[in-house]
Structure 1
Amino acid sequence: MIKLTNVSKSFQTKKGTIPAIDDVSLEVQPGEIFGVIGYSGAGKSTLIRCVNLLESPTTGSVIINGRDVTNVSAEELLKVRRKIGMIFQGFNLLKTATVYDNIAIPLKLTDVDKKEIDKRVQKYLQIVGLEDKHDAYPGQLSGGQKQRVAIARALAQEPEILLSDEATSALDPETTESILELLLKINEELGITIMLITHEMNVIQKICDRVAVMEKGKIIEQGKTVDIYARPSHPTTKRFVNSTYHKELPPHVLQDLIQTGPVVRLTFVGESSSKPVLASVSAKFPVSPNILAGGIIALKQETIGTLVVHLHGDKEETIKAISYLEEQGVKVEGVEVTHV
């Protein structure tokens, strides 16, 4: 569906060449929701704008449905873009036009029949839950309603791909949740492939099948969302994942605990989440597990549980206990004392 191969993009400024994305390769499969996450300045927005050629890559190829679109004519590019909808953080609605007209005007510009326009506007307003707002103006709507209008406008073009550029970052948590539920509905019921960028890990957690993590213009890690959550390898990815758990312990508490045994973070996913493995530790070894913190993360198709545990006991026995936990499919990671 979408394949980026060795894509780089640089901008020329008075101070010289500024690289925005550097040798990025990724694939988005038909029907999935693919997320790209990174901190501010990571290159996410430039990357997603390369997909529909709002930004032309400096090098590399962008392949949509098997076709390299980086060298097509302006006419062919226009046809490609009509199959790619896009929603933005700022909504981009016409303030002086009604909700109906905000959705209808782009269709009029592409010579869609008037009856077809009316049919599509009504259909997609119903899908986004705003069928009673067709005569309202943007100034009369909440932020979440404005974003729903923007989504309906993108859907009215009946695209195969929907790009989301930080579409929820300006919304409050409750409204964000409702928009994410809507994107899930669109993906599942209409079969539209979604590629989104965000700096919020809860967005990835809620709806994404796979994720790529960006830093300084590069993809530093990518894979299934459940795998990234369960076994992040890059320090930046670990920071994103840990931000969803909120289980940092005060350094002085850790300092006292590690005198009598290691403090470890246990991650349970799949079969390991249904086994009473922690209860078995004290039965098999002279080690006393003391649970310090815990939480459950519900991903789109999987649930991951984590516990921060102090293993009180002899060093040799706690090593055996950790090996046993790993044999049972539990990921074990030491929690180190960080001095501020």
Structure 2
Amino acid sequence: MIELKNISKTFSSKKNKEVVALQDVTLHVKKGEIFGVIGYSGAGKSTLVRCVNLLEKPTSGEVFVNGEHLNEMSTDQLRQARQNIGMIFQGFNLLKTATVYDNIAIPLKLTGLAASEINERVEKYLSIVGLADKKNVFPNQLSGGQKQRVAIARALSHEPDVLLSDEATSALDPETTDSILELLLKINKEFGITILLITHEMHVIQKICDRVAVMENGEVIEQGNVIDIYSAPQQQTTQRFVSSLFPSEFPSEIFDDLQKQGPIISLTFVGTSADQPALSVISKKFDVHTNILSGNIVQLKDKPFGKLIAHIQGPKDETDKALAYLVEQGVQVSEVSNNG
């Protein structure tokens, strides 16, 4: 659905210095999936998402959306193609002097739609985002979450195949963020709209994304299924993002003391294994004692996922049997050799 081939983007600064925002980025977003791009500030992710609809024209590389080569389009052709690519922003971009209804209707009028069709679409999409009763109010009368819902309704009113989200939840509180993410998930499921979103929040990736790309210094340094990235992050930046959800640090004195009494292990639970009381079972099944030192279990889009750091104490042959049993139950087990 979205294919970016070897995208690079260079800006010229006031001092005639070149600033490289993107370097040879290649991504393929499948039809109907929710694909996340995550990175810290300055990673190039906002520039990347704006290259998808050519709001930023790449210095080099090719952009394909729904099989169409955007780079080769004329201005009129590109304008037409953009109607099939909805976009929502962190700052909402609503007209302050226009009602909620008109914020959605005015862009539709510019496309030449009949008044009856415009009214039908505005009513339909305001209902979908849960704001049917707010059509006659102005943006300054709405909360941040409601403003973002209006922006989503506006993007949907063009009935696009693709929706781009540029840090759409960054200005919202956690509860409102979750409600917007649930709305995006609903839109994806009910309408089959392909969503490409960028964020600096791992929680956003965790909650609704199928696949994710991690960016750093204008490059994609790692990408794959969310569950695979969580299970085995390869790059240091990716590991930092994942560890923000699964804290594992504790005083080195405690670590050294416990390690003398038995192995300290990292346990990764995926899917049904996350629902099983595995540590409780091995304490009863084998002559070992277990102690959870740190960790967390979270719900990904389709399945639970957890990481725990635990101390296993007991005779070596019993701890070996206990660890083998955990592996048999689908738990990923590795020994922690140092406190980091």
Q: Deviations over 1:284-307 (max 9, x none)?
A: 765433222343210111111222
Report the Cα offset of residue 112 of structure 1: 1.2
> What secondary structure, in the 3-state scheme, does the structure 1 residue paired with 2:134 have?
coil
> What secondary structure, in the 3-state scheme, does the structure 2 residue paired with 1:111 have?
coil
| TM-score, length basis structure 2 | 0.92
Report the Cα offset of residue 270 of structure 1: 3.4
Report the Cα offset of residue 58 of structure 1: 1.3
Q: How many residues align?
A: 338
d(CA) in 2 for partners of 1:136, 1:275: 50
Instruction: Tell me the amino acid that sits aligned with residue 126 of structure 2.
Output: L
d(CA) in 1 for partners of 2:58, 2:327: 44
Q: 1:6 maps to what in 2?
A: 6
Residues 316, 233 of structure 1: CA spacing in aligned structure 2 closer, same or farther, 3 A cutoff? farther
d(CA) in 1 for partners of 2:289, 2:250: 19
| TM-score, length basis structure 1 | 0.92
Q: Deviations over 1:17-37 (max 9, x none)?
A: 211111111111111111111
Q: 2:80 maps to what in 1?
A: 79
d(CA) in 2 for partners of 1:4, 1:139: 38
- Map of 1:96-245 to 2, 5 A cutoff? 96-245=97-246
Instruction: Tell me the amino acid that sits aligned with residue 83 of structure 2.
Output: R
Q: Deviations over 1:120-160 (max 9, x none)?
A: 11111111111111111111111111111111111111111
Q: Aligned-residue CA RMSD in angstroms?
A: 2.1
- Map of 1:300-315 to 2, 5 A cutoff? 300-313=301-314
d(CA) in 1 for partners of 2:272, 2:183: 31
Q: 1:337 maps to what in 2?
A: 339
Report the Cα offset of residue 245 of structure 1: 2.6
d(CA) in 2 for partners of 1:116, 1:216: 45
Q: Could you list the structure 1 runs, at least 4 aligned residues long, displaced by more than 3 angstroms after superposition.
A: 270-288, 313-329
Q: Deviations over 1:223-274 (max 9, x none)?
A: 1111111222222112111211344323332232222223222011135446
Report the Cα offset of residue 61 of structure 1: 1.1
Mark the runs of 5 or more structure 1 residues left unpaired by the alignment.
none
- Map of 1:279-318 to 2, 5 A cutoff? 279=280, 281=282, 287-313=288-314, 318=319
Report the Cα offset of residue 178 of structure 1: 0.7
Residues 138, 273 of structure 1: CA spacing in aligned structure 2 closer, same or farther, 3 A cutoff? closer
Q: 2:37 maps to what in 1?
A: 36
Instruction: Tell me the amino acid that sits aligned with residue 337 of structure 1.
Output: N
Instruction: Tell me the amino acid that sits aligned with residue 339 of structure 2.
Output: V
Aligned-residue sequence identity (percent) comes to: 62
Instruction: Tell me the amino acid that sits aligned with residue 232 of structure 1.
Output: P
Report the Cα offset of residue 314 of structure 1: 5.8
Instruction: Tell me the amino acid that sits aligned with residue 199 of structure 1.
Output: H
d(CA) in 2 for partners of 1:316, 1:237: 35
Instruction: Tell me the amino acid that sits aligned with residue 74 of structure 1.
Output: T
> What secondary structure, in the 3-state scheme, does the structure 1 residue paired with 2:126 have?
helix
Residues 316, 43 of structure 1: CA spacing in aligned structure 2 closer, same or farther, 3 A cutoff? farther
d(CA) in 2 for partners of 1:155, 1:27: 22
Is the contact between residue 269 and residue 306 of structure 2 (CA under 8 Å) also seen in structure 1? yes
Is the contact between residue 247 and residue 294 of structure 2 (CA under 8 Å) also seen in structure 1? no
Bigger drift between 241-250 and 30-39 goes to: 241-250
Residues 118, 293 of structure 1: CA spacing in aligned structure 2 closer, same or farther, 3 A cutoff? same
Residues 81, 291 of structure 1: CA spacing in aligned structure 2 closer, same or farther, 3 A cutoff? same
Residues 132, 277 of structure 1: CA spacing in aligned structure 2 closer, same or farther, 3 A cutoff? closer
Residues 233, 320 of structure 1: CA spacing in aligned structure 2 closer, same or farther, 3 A cutoff? farther
Residues 185, 274 of structure 1: CA spacing in aligned structure 2 closer, same or farther, 3 A cutoff? closer
Instruction: Tell me the amino acid that sits aligned with residue 11 of structure 2.
Output: F
Instruction: Tell me the amino acid that sits aligned with residue 177 of structure 1.
Output: D
Instruction: Tell me the amino acid that sits aligned with residue 309 of structure 1.
Output: A
Is the contact between residue 262 and residue 313 of structure 2 (CA under 8 Å) also seen in structure 1? yes
> What secondary structure, in the 3-state scheme, does the structure 2 residue paired with 1:35 have?
strand
Q: Deviations over 1:187-228 (max 9, x none)?
A: 111111111000001111111111111111111111111111
d(CA) in 1 for partners of 2:268, 2:168: 31
Report the Cα offset of residue 108 of structure 1: 1.1
